[in-house]
Amino acid sequence: MTGRGWNTVRDLRRGSRSTVLRRLYFDGPLSRQELGALTGLSAGSVSNVTGELLADGLIEECGSVGSDGGRPRTMLRVAAGRARLVGVDVGETQVRVGLFDLTRTELAASDRPLTDRGRDAGHVAELILAGLADVLERTGTAPGAVLGVGVGVPGIVDQGAPGTDGLGVVVHGQTVGWDAVPLGRLLRAGTALPLFVDNGAKTLGQAEMWFGAGRGARHAVVALFGSGVGACVIADGARYRGASSSAGEWGHTKVHVGGRRCRCGARGCLEAYVGAEALVERWGAAPPGDEKAGLAALLAAAEAGEPAAVGLLDEAAEYLGAGIADLVNLFNPERIVIGGWAGLLLGPRLLPGIRAAATGYALRFPYEHALIVLGTLGPEAVTMGAATLPLSDFLDSGGRTPDRSHLSDASA
């Protein structure tokens, strides 16, 4: 433990650069003037810092707007083309690799279906590396232009010792049969790019917070409703990770002590009642195999008024409302975003029921301060969310382009 690592005047500068860069990234083109008001920096410092960022090519001027008879404001924005980001979604049926510019425009993507070796981590690592090489080559992107590779995976991600550049990352994915898979090491063997690995649900949540329904909230919970149920907690503007990066396992909250058995082994988990897998299984009338098709069929049956389906969905709304009430009581967020592919599908139908149930189950005071909304991003946002991992690092560092000259000849 070495204090808080905020000791030197140099850190002050890094902080200023980071603040300015973040503002420009999220709040679009801004003049130096506005930047000063927004960041609390003096006009002199803003000039100084923006001058540096301009010289580094990280930001650029983009026109000017008149100002009431005075000198017009020169607008500044992040230079989109300066660097690129890679996001990877390790899903249940495929591995998707996306290449983005800094303003999250997708330049290329590569989908590779998981074969039956899908549970083999080495195979997954190969697919990731192949997809990475593919998108880099197709877009003619030099490895040095890539800020980093963010990977969203199923399961709990143990970040290992800090400062090892992702090398110590270990993944525990009970549902895909990964037990302490050293994904960091597997990937590091094939690329020298900076690596950032996190749980896929968390990267989707991050995307929803940065670009979707969570924008602007400082305290929020993104509830992810898919085959299972998870959550991504944002406390004071930052992902809340907990002691070992596994915070937010909402799906295994107990809603019926001693109740229905869950795939995690315990009884009475929320997931055992409202997870897509559980819903389809409990309905029993869906063609087996394709979970998404099954859930869509369940929804269609409910829309058609079939009592069993209606009852199941009403019950799911009730349980989700109770689960969300727990989140409201415990985290006191200003916003709850319902995302995930199942949330996207069932959300419009379930939302009124969820709100009604949550109203009854949550404490009045925190509930009055919380807004329950549906996510606005589709499932393809997982890659984008994964790409926010290196992006976040980039913004935190104030736009340091790390010295990666060793990459010039190393292949990606």
**In the complex, which residues of this chain contact its own copies (CB under 8 A)?**
1-9, 11-12, 15-16, 19, 37-41, 45, 156, 172, 174, 218-219, 231, 233, 235, 240-250, 252-257, 264, 266-268, 318-319, 322-323, 325-326, 329-334, 360-366, 369-370
Task: Give the x-and-dash track for 65-84 against DNA (CB under 7 A).
Answer: -xxxxxxxxx----------
59 strand-pairing partners: 78
Nearer to its own copies, 215 or 267 (CB): 267
Q: Which does 401 bind (CB under 5 to 8 A by kind): DNA, its own copies, none?
A: none
User: Of the ranges 35-43, 167-175, 368-376, 380-388, which one interacts with DNA (CB under 7 A)?
Assistant: 35-43
* 3-class SS of residue 170: strand
| # residues contacting DNA (CB under 7 A) | 33
- Contact of 317 with 324, CB cutoff 8 Å: no
Nearer to DNA, 68 or 116 (CB): 68
Taking the CA atoms of residue 401, residue 404, residue 410 and residue 412 in that order, the dihedral angle to the nearest 10 degrees is -30
Nearer to its own copies, 62 or 330 (CB): 330
User: Of the ranges 29-37, 106-114, 274-282, 304-312, which one interacts with DNA (CB under 7 A)?
Assistant: 29-37
Query: What is the spatial distance between Cα 207 and Cα 382, in angstroms, rounded to a whole number?
Result: 7
Nearer to its own copies, 33 or 105 (CB): 33
Nearer to DNA, 69 or 258 (CB): 69
Give the β-pairing of 335-339 and 220-225.
parallel
The pair of structure tokens assigned to 88 is 């990877």
Nearer to its own copies, 306 or 396 (CB): 396
The CA distances from residue 297 to 279, 285, 287, 310, 378, in Å, are 11, 9, 9, 12, 20
Locate all alpha helices (DSSP H) within 9-120, ordered by sequence: 9-26, 32-39, 43-55
Q: What is the spatial order of strands in the sheet that 156-158 belongs to?
A: 156-158, 170-173, 178-181
Is residue 359 a contact point for DNA (CB under 7 A)?
A: no
The residues binding DNA (CB under 7 A) are: 7-10, 12-13, 15-16, 31-33, 40-51, 64, 66-74
